[in-house]
Amino acid sequence: MTALTNLLDLDPAQLIAYCGELGEKPFRAKQLQRWIHQFGAGDFESMTDLAKSLREKLATRAHIASPAIISDHTSTDGTRKWLLDVGQGNAVETVFIPEENRGTLCISTQAGCAVNCRFCSTGKQGFNRNLTVGEIIGQLWMAEFELRKTKGIAPGPKGERQITNVVMMGMGEPLLNFEPTVTALRLMLDDNAYGLSRRRVTLSTSGVVPMIDKLSKECPVALAVSLHASNDALRDGLIPLNKKYPLQELLDACKRYLDYAPRDFITFEYCMLDGVNDTDQHARELVALVKDVPCKFNLIPFNPFPESGLKRSHNPRIKAFAQILMDAGLVTTIRKTRGDDIDAACGQLAGEVQDRTRVQERMQKMAEYQKKFGENFGKIVEITQ
Spell out, one character per residue from 196 to 215, where the chain touches ligand SAH: x when CB under 6 A holds, - when not.
Answer: --------xxx---------
Spell out, one character per residue from 225 to 264, where the chain touches ligand SF4: x when CB under 6 A holds, - when not.
Answer: -x--------------------------------------
Q: Where are the alpha helices (DSSP H) in 10-132?
A: 12-21, 26-37, 52-61, 121-124
Task: For residue 226, state whether it binds ligand SAH (rule: CB under 6 A).
Answer: yes
d(CA 227, CA 339): 24
Instruction: Tell which positions 134-193 bind ligand SF4, by CB under 6 A.
Output: 171-173
Taking CB under 6 A as the criterion, the residue among 62, 115, 147, 261 binding ligand SF4 is 115
Q: Are 351 and 123 spatial neighbours (Cβ–Cβ below 8 Å)?
A: no
d(CA 233, CA 32): 52
Please measure the distance between the N-terminal and C-terminal CA atoms of the chain and give it in whole angstroms: 40
- Active-site residue (options: 19, 295, 346, 375): 346
Q: Where are the alpha helices (DSSP H) in the chain?
A: 12-21, 26-37, 52-61, 121-124, 133-151, 178-189, 209-218, 232-238, 247-258, 280-289, 315-327, 348-353, 359-372
93 assigned to active site:
yes
Judged by beta carbon distances under 5 to 8 A according to partner kind, the member of ligand SF4, ligand SAH, none in contact with residue 238 is none
Task: For residue 222, state whether it binds ligand SF4 (rule: CB under 6 A).
Answer: no
Instruction: Assign 226 to helix, strand or coil.
Output: strand
DSSP conformation class of 343: T
Count of helices and strands (H, E) across the chain:
13, 14
Smallest Cα–Cα separation from 198: which of 176, 173, 218? 218
What residues form the annotated binding site for S-adenosyl-L-methionine? Answer: 172-173, 204, 226-228, 303
- The smaller minimum CB distance to ligand SAH, of residues 58 and 349, is found at 349
What residues form the annotated binding site for [4Fe-4S] cluster? Answer: 113, 117, 120
Instruction: Tell which positions 77-136 bind ligand SAH, by CB under 6 A.
Output: 119-121
d(CA 250, CA 243): 11
* Number of residues this chain uses to bind ligand SF4 (CB under 6 A): 12
d(CA 333, CA 336): 9
CB of 134 to ligand SF4, least distance (A): 21
Task: For residue 38, state whether it binds ligand SAH (rule: CB under 6 A).
Answer: no
In 3-state terms the chain splits into helix, strand, coil percentages (rounded to 5) of: 40, 20, 40
- Active-site residue (options: 93, 144, 146, 269): 93
Report angle CA 180, 91, 165 to the nearest 5 degrees.
55
Task: For residue 185, state whether it binds ligand SAH (rule: CB under 6 A).
Answer: no
- The smaller minimum CB distance to ligand SAH, of residues 67 and 170, is found at 170
Q: Residue 108: left (phi > 0), alpha (psi -120 to 50), or beta?
A: beta
- The smaller minimum CB distance to ligand SAH, of residues 195 and 275, is found at 275
- The smaller minimum CB distance to ligand SF4, of residues 116 and 132, is found at 116
CA distances from 24 to 2, 12, 63 (A): 21, 14, 17
- The smaller minimum CB distance to ligand SAH, of residues 41 and 209, is found at 209
Smallest Cα–Cα separation from 208: which of 257, 250, 179, 256? 250
Judged by beta carbon distances under 5 to 8 A according to partner kind, the member of ligand SAH, ligand SF4, none in contact with residue 324 is none
271 assigned to active site:
no
Judged by beta carbon distances under 5 to 8 A according to partner kind, the member of ligand SAH, ligand SF4, none in contact with residue 271 is ligand SAH
Judged by beta carbon distances under 5 to 8 A according to partner kind, the member of ligand SAH, ligand SF4, none in contact with residue 116 is ligand SF4
CB of 121 to ligand SAH, least distance (A): 6
CB of 225 to ligand SF4, least distance (A): 11
Q: How many CB atoms lie within 10 A of CB 104?
A: 19
Could you write out the DSSP letters of every residue in 270-296?
EEEBTTTT-SHHHHHHHHHHTTTS-EE
Instruction: Tell which positions 264-323 bind ligand SAH, by CB under 6 A.
Output: 269, 271, 300, 302-303
Indicate which residues carry an active-site annotation: 93, 346
Chain positions contacting ligand SAH, by CB under 6 A? 119-121, 169, 173, 204-206, 226, 269, 271, 300, 302-303, 345-346
Chain positions contacting ligand SF4, by CB under 6 A? 113, 115-117, 120, 122-123, 171-173, 206, 226
